[in-house]
Amino acid sequence: MQTRSLGIDELQVSAIGLGCMGLSYGYGPAVSEADGMALIRAAYDGGVTFFDTAEAYGPYANEELVGKALADVRNDVVIATKFGFIDGKPASGLDSRPETIRAVAEASLRRLGTDHIDLFYQHRVDPNVPIEDVAGTVRDLIAEGKVRHFGLSEAGAETIRRAHAVQPVTALQSEYSMWWREPEAQILPLCAELGIGFVPFSPLGKGFLTGAINAQTTFGEDDFRAVVPRFEEANRRANDALVQELKAIAAHHDATPAQIAIAWLLAQSPSIVPIPGTTKRHRLDENLGAARLDLDENDLAGIGRTLAAFPVAGDRYPASIAGRVGR
């Protein structure tokens, strides 16, 4: 696995990371501890050194899983976690008060079984707390050796600039994929200007770009996609046209749609490090295989024409939480 650098501090990570959320939260029932640990270790054995978790994933259970799975290789990996929700529960609202950030840092250190957090993200921007106070608190945690790098997630351009002026932002984590390209307008150019790495979550469109989801797919009540407008049946039918085109492109490269989607992201910038998640070993191997796929300028131009010809139907978030992003 090749490595890439995030931020002006040049945090070295594998070119593809592992989003660990789905092992505990968000996409149906949590996997067993044994299965979760096995998948995380398989990722490490496959060259992954960048693992993404959060107190909110569970809550709490995912940090414990990640910490336990990586305990004996802790010094060889980069672990990112997050703060920003009341009691680690997104449904309870936002809380990025300095005292809360400190409390979450201490709790995350215990759950992860480590003496430092490599990358500490604000999970969502809290409009009730000045971002300067948030960045200053993380700056202090860095000075104390408890945190090494500061990150933001789904933040807007002004917030990123203000935070970066207090404590350099190593990475911005936001959704970015073939079917959510809004970061290209302002956020990616800003990251390039300020020397901030970009970590796309949901690089496979929450699974849709794999081709495994169609109009007949059903989602359980504990699957976040059940409330996402983009996954309503009518929109899935409409969006399938893009997936069919993606399958044709993949066939030309003797690859899978997922590999094309990840390779496309990698080709956008050397500072982009996608973090696809999965609960299945064969999907993990498939995703990591994208690092060996090279797309040239002609490939990228052809994909660009395809994306322009097949606009995505449906909003990416329900209205109840859409207001939390881009602040």
Band (320; pLDDT cuts 50, 70, 90): confident
**How many domains does the chain fold into?**
1
Residue 236 domain-assigned (yes or no):
no
- Residue 121 bears catalytic tag: no
Query: Using one digit for the tens of pLDDT, what is the confidence trace for 295-305?
Result: 999 999 999 99
Band (276; pLDDT cuts 50, 70, 90): very high
The terminus-to-terminus CA distance of the chain in angstroms comes to: 34
Residue 326 domain-assigned (yes or no):
no
Query: Three-state DSSP class for 96?
Result: coil
The CATH code of the domain that includes 163 is 3.20.20.100
The torsion of the CA quartet 37, 58, 32, 232, rounded to 10 degrees, works out to -110
Residue 279 domain-assigned (yes or no):
yes
Query: Using one digit for the tens of pLDDT, what is the confidence trace for 48-101?
Result: 999 999 999 999 999 999 999 999 999 999 999 999 999 999 999 999 999 999
Q: 28-42 in b/e burial notation, b at 16+ Cβ within 10 A?
A: bebbeeeebbebbee
Query: Using one digit for the tens of pLDDT, what is the confidence trace for 208-230?
Result: 999 999 999 999 999 999 999 99
Share of the chain above pLDDT 90, in %: 98
Residue 322 domain-assigned (yes or no):
no
- Long-range pairs for 27-31: beta carbons < 8 A, 24 or more residues apart: 27/206, 27/207, 27/223, 27/224, 27/225, 27/279, 28/219, 28/220, 28/222, 28/223, 29/220, 29/222, 30/58, 30/61, 31/279
Query: Using one digit for the tens of pLDDT, what is the confidence trace for 255-266?
Result: 999 999 999 999
Residue 302 domain-assigned (yes or no):
no
Tell me the residue range of the domain where 26 lies: 3-207+262-293
Residue 239 domain-assigned (yes or no):
no
Q: At residue 323, does pLDDT exceed 90?
A: no
Q: What is the pLDDT of residue 232?
A: 96
Residue 187 domain-assigned (yes or no):
yes
Which residue in the list 27, 57, 121, 176 is annotated as catalytic?
57
Residue 152 domain-assigned (yes or no):
yes
Q: What is the pLDDT of residue 291?
A: 97
Q: At residue 284, does pLDDT exceed 90?
A: yes
Query: Using one digit for the tens of pLDDT, what is the confidence trace for 156-173?
Result: 999 999 999 999 999 999
Q: What is the pLDDT of residue 238?
A: 96
Of 6, 69, 75, nearest to 43 (Cα)?
69
Q: What residues contact residue 245 under an 8 Å CB cut-off, 6+ apart?
A: 306, 309, 310
